[in-house]
């Protein structure tokens, strides 16, 4: 039984326009976001004073003395510092590019894996090590927004010829005078770590794109003005030939692939040469290494579902497209490995865990499961019928599974499985006591109540407000 909020870290195989294939993309990595050019700011290319950054919170800062007379911890964030001394105030660090020698700037520390990274809205947390597991703290520094506005680059960048580079919520100035002429590209041409867009255009989804606003309209057929101004801190909008992920409205059976999520808007793009699949929700599918949908329709993910080794089509959903989720499923959000993709979800579930029955002759059964299987609780989420539908997966349960109140054994601590009957938690009621099976319940679900004398105590599971345990 899964007891924690489902946290499946899914890395979509998203299409990089112009590459002809799909590439694994981590959407929390500073150097690979939405197919932006790779901004050459990995931690290995910074000069950083050797400090302990192995634990959560701020690294340990031993007091240092400048010229043996003055304590060195008084340089404020954003001010110049020396790499060899690093006299930045506590909670910050002195960082500089290689070509700046010993000169640097004080940056704020942050934790890239925390819900509140510690950065301001005008900063982006850059992890020291982007490969740290998502369950562990990921120390880094807060890179400030240069507020470069496409079409008005000189307002933020000064005199010269500049292009604006966006990475998640911040924009930075790229001095095109330092870029070889053959590496500067026009609208419609590919942009990447070695090829950059000319001034007045932006690189989005691996291609240089024209900018747009209230007075400048997109000129090409089927293009729309995609506005990212509510993500960045400046006016930032560009022209792109978008499509409707859920309608799959591209011509010639070309797939409309999921490209990005902008607050509460899902952005798709037609990918020529990649066909929309035919397999629908819950149907078996064949994965491939070029698309996330495999043989499914492109508004689905071909993946191994919960408690299964077989591949099937799982529908993409959001709160405005709950019709994507069928009977006994719910739209579970917050599972994509991208902080700004919290709006997007997947339809999980195959049965109602509170519809199980028991008969001594046949054991535990559920009307939504095949014969001999019962439904085990996994998570809750919205569907067309209710905002808090409890969904589960069909599993085998022995006839002699331990019942409520009896002593039990945890068989898989990571997944919360035990030898208890369906929808029960194996846990100790008091410190030091033997674990017993405790029945799960849901408020105000009339089919998920408690035995006489017990009360459904909610708020015991993180992010599962309506789910509780039957306790005194």
What's the mean pLDDT in 308-332? 91
Distance CA 329, CA 383 (A): 7
Closest by CA to 241, choosing from 257, 261, 221, 264, is 221
Please give the mean pLDDT across all residues of the chain: 81
* Chosen domain end from 193, 211, 240: 240
Q: Residue 157 is inside which H or E element, if any? A: helix 153-157
In the 8-state DSSP scheme, what is residue 148?
P
The reply to whether 137 and 190 lie within a common domain is no
CB-based contacts of 44, cutoff 8 Å, min separation 6? none
Q: For residue 336, name the pLDDT band (cuts at 50, 70, 90).
A: confident
pLDDT of residue 26: 29
pLDDT of residue 60: 34
> Are the beta carbons of 436 and 407 closer than 8 angstroms?
yes
Residue 427 lies in a domain: yes
Is residue 29 predicted with pLDDT exceeding 50? no
Give 148-198 pLDDT, tens digit per residue: 999 999 999 999 999 999 998 999 999 999 999 999 999 999 999 999 999
Give, in order, the Cα–Cα distances in Å from 134 to each of 18, 124, 130.
30, 17, 10
Domain membership of residue 294 (yes or no) is no
pLDDT over 70, % of the chain:
83
- Phi–psi pair at 31, nearest 5 degrees: -95, 10
Q: Is residue 91 part of a domain?
A: yes
Residues 112 and 213 in one domain: no
pLDDT of residue 339: 65
Q: How many residues does the chain have?
A: 472
Domain count, the chain: 3
The reported pLDDT for the residue numbered 99 is 59
380-397 as b/e, with b when 16 or more CB fall inside 10 Å? bbbbeeeebbbbbbbbeb
Domain of residue 420: give its range: 349-471
User: Are 164 and 133 in a shared domain?
Assistant: no
Confidence category of residue 44, pLDDT binned at 50, 70, 90: very low
Please, are residues 43 and 51 in contact by the beta-carbon 8 Å criterion?
A: no
Q: What is the mean pLDDT of residues 386-408?
A: 90
| pLDDT computed for residue 306 by the predictor | 61
Which 8-state DSSP code applies to residue 9?
-
pLDDT number for residue 233:
87
Same domain, 92 and 126: yes
At 398 the pLDDT is 87
Do residue 111 and residue 37 come from a single domain? yes
Same structural domain, 57 and 170? no
CA torsion sign for 338, 343, 349, 355 is positive
What confidence category does residue 27 fall into, taking pLDDT thresholds of 50, 70 and 90? Answer: very low
How much is the pLDDT for 100?
62
Taking the C-alpha atoms of residue 347 and residue 382, their distance in angstroms, rounded to an integer, is: 10
- Say if residue 382 is in the same domain as residue 427: yes
Q: Is 67 helix (H, G, I), strand (E, B) or coil?
A: coil
> Is the same domain home to 467 and 410?
yes
Lowest mean pLDDT among 27-36, 209-218, 459-468: 27-36
CB burial of 38-75 (b: ≥16 within 10 Å; e: otherwise) equals bbebbbeebbbbebebeeeebbebeeeeeeeeeebbeb
Task: Taking residues 251-258, report their average pLDDT.
Answer: 91
More confident site: 351 or 336: 351
Query: What residues have CB less than 8 Å from 443, skipping those under 6 apart?
Result: 456, 458, 466, 468
Q: Tell if the pTM clears 0.75, that is, is over it.
A: no
pLDDT at 37: 30
The arithmetic mean of pLDDT across residues 18-40, rounded, is 29
Of the three residues 205, 240, 275, the one that is the final residue of a domain is 240
Among 20-29, 233-242, 258-267, 456-465, top mean pLDDT goes to 233-242
Domain check: are 137 and 158 in the same one? no
Q: Read off the pLDDT band of 305 (50, 70, 90).
A: low
In a domain, 402, yes or no: yes
What separation in angstroms does the CA of 151 have from each of 65, 210, 237, 238? 47, 10, 10, 11
Residues 117 and 39 in one domain: yes
Write down the residue that tokens 């010269």 correspond to: 160
User: Please, how many CA atoms are within 13 Å of residue 80, restricted to the half-sphere of its CB?
Assistant: 4
pLDDT at 285 over 60: yes
Q: Determine the pLDDT at residue 308.
A: 65
Contact 353, 307 (CB under 8 A): no
281 within domain boundaries: no
Report the pLDDT value the prediction gives residue 120, as an integer from 0 to 100.
Answer: 94
- pLDDT digits over 202-230, tens only? 999 889 999 999 899 998 877 889 899 98
Structural domain contains residue 336: no
Q: What are the tens digits of pLDDT across the range 422-452?
A: 989 999 988 889 999 999 999 888 888 898 8
Decide if 316 is inside a domain: no
| Contact indicator for 250, 270 with CB cutoff of 8 Å | yes
Query: Residue 2: its pLDDT value, please?
Result: 38
Concatenated DSSP letters of 35-53: T----S--GGGEEE-----
- Using the 3D structure, point to which of 142, 166, 191 is the last residue of a domain: 142
* Secondary structure (3-state) at 155: helix
- Residue 6: count of CB within 10 angstroms of its CB: 18
Considering the domain boundaries, does residue 90 fall inside one? yes
* Nearest residue to 167 via CA among 18, 291, 340, 16: 340
DSSP string, 212-250: --SSS---STT-EEEE-TTTSSS--EEEE-EE-TTTT--
| Residue 114 shares a structural domain with residue 225 | no
Same domain, 366 and 456: yes
Region 300-328: mean pLDDT is 88
């Amino acid at each position: 039984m899964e007891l924690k909020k489902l946290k499946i870290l899914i890395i979509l195989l998203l299409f990089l326009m112009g590459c002809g294939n799909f590439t694994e993309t981590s959407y929390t990595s500073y150097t690979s976001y939405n197919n932006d050019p790779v901004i050459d700011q990995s931690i290995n290319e910074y000069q950083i004073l050797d400090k302990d950054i192995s634990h959560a919170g701020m690294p340990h800062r031993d007091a240092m003395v400048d010229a043996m007379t003055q304590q060195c911890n008084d340089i404020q964030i954003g001010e110049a510092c020396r790499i060899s001394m690093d006299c930045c105030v506590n909670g910050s660090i002195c960082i500089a590019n290689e070509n700046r020698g010993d000169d640097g700037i004080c940056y704020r520390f942050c934790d890239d894996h925390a819900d509140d990274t510690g950065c301001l809205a005008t900063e982006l947390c850059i992890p020291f090590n982007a490969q740290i597991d998502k369950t562990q703290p990921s120390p880094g520094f807060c890179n400030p927004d240069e507020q470069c506005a496409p079409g008005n680059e000189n307002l933020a960048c000064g005199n010269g010829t500049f292009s604006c580079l966006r990475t998640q919520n911040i924009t930075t100035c790229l001095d095109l005078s330092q870029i070889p002429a053959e590496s500067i590209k026009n609208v419609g041409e590919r942009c990447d770590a070695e090829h950059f867009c000319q001034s007045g255009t932006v690189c989005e989804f691996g291609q240089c794109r024209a900018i747009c606003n209230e007075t400048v309209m997109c000129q090409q057929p089927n293009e729309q003005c995609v506005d990212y101004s509510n993500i960045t801190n400046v006016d930032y909008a560009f022209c792109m030939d978008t499509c409707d992920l859920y309608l799959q409205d591209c011509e010639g059976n070309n797939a409309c692939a999921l490209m990005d999520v902008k607050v509460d808007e899902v952005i798709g793009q037609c990918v020529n040469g990649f066909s929309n699949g035919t397999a629908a929700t819950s149907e078996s599918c064949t994965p491939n290494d070029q698309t996330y949908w495999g043989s499914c329709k492109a508004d689905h993910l071909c993946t191994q579902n919960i408690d299964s080794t077989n591949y099937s089509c799982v529908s993409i959903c959001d709160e405005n497209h709950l019709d994507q989720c069928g009977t006994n499923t719910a739209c579970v959000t917050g599972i994509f490995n991208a902080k700004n993709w919290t709006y997007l979800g997947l339809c999980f579930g195959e049965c109602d865990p509170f519809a199980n029955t028991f008969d001594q002759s046949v054991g535990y059964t559920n009307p939504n499961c095949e014969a001999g299987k019962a439904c085990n609780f996994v998570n809750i989420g919205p569907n067309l019928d209710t905002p808090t539908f409890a969904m589960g997966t069909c599993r085998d349960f022995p006839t002699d599974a331990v019942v409520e109140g009896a002593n039990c054994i945890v068989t898989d601590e990571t997944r919360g499985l035990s030898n208890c009957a369906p929808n029960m938690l194996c846990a100790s009621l008091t410190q030091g006591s033997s674990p017993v099976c405790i029945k799960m319940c849901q408020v105000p679900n009339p089919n998920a109540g408690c035995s006489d004398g017990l009360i459904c105590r909610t708020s015991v599971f993180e992010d599962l407000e309506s789910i509780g345990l039957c306790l005194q």
